[in-house]
Structure 1
């Protein structure tokens, strides 16, 4: 009877599985504790949307706050391709529809003819309407 070499205790497959089980998981963090203000369930939704939409497992989230019944506003800081944080940018989340929108950077709004301009402008307007005082 022939045995699979990976099936032995300590074989290459077992070592791989063990290393995956103890590897630290990267996760977004709410840096300033503001997640307590909106509650753990809604904080989890926001962090999951950031992970999915920005593909940033180590995003730093701050100033989470409610806006009305179904929106959460905040700031997020993500790393660029060089591994450097790019600076905080505002975002808004609609908890009912599970939609995330990060405020576009100035250059992203320079040309109304650019791809995605209307959606980016709508996110910007929503953020200003829902998230900024005054």
Structure 2
């Protein structure tokens, strides 16, 4: 029985495919990636509340790979935290605070400066209300 030897170039090609294919699948568009709690603070608010918060983040921010941190419950229905999402270039934009009200399943992310420049812009009142709630209730 003859044993056939692989050429080194064939072996290298097989090796590269074995390494590159799993990485490419992870980065391919359309592959689901879950919104995750990065720091374990989900334990402080409970599994059911965590599921609700993560679902609202995914729904409102359209970011399946958002990273959530510093979750905390304020009163019976308010949950505060921070979320970091990717921009169009695939880079994380930096953490921004958010507020979830479990009593009505509402979600609001704290607006950044440009979103609050004009009181006549669409949704200004809602964004300002979210900012006020976050700064009054969520910051120590």
* Range class of TM-score, shorter chain: 0.7 to 0.9
Distance (Å, rounded) in 1 between the aligned partners of 2:46 and 2:122: 36
Deviating 4+ runs (over 6 angstroms): none
Distance (Å, rounded) in 1 between the aligned partners of 2:72 and 2:107: 14
Q: For 1:112, which of 119, 128, 136 is the aligned residue?
A: 119
- Give, in angstroms, the shift of residue 101 of structure 1: 0.4
- Give, in angstroms, the shift of residue 62 of structure 1: 0.1
Matched, 1:95 2:95: no
Matched, 1:40 2:47: yes
Q: Return the TM-score normalized by structure 2.
A: 0.77
- Give, in angstroms, the shift of residue 103 of structure 1: 0.1
Instruction: State the aligned residue count.
Output: 111
Per-residue Cα deviation, 1:74-106 (whole angstroms, up to 9, x for no partner): 000000011000000000000110000000011
Alignment of 1:1-134 (within 5 A): 25-133=32-140
The 3-state SS of whatever aligns with 2:70 is strand
The 3-state SS of whatever aligns with 1:128 is helix
**Larger CA Rg, structure 1 vs 2:** 2
The 3-state SS of whatever aligns with 1:85 is coil
| RMSD of equivalent CA atoms | 1.2
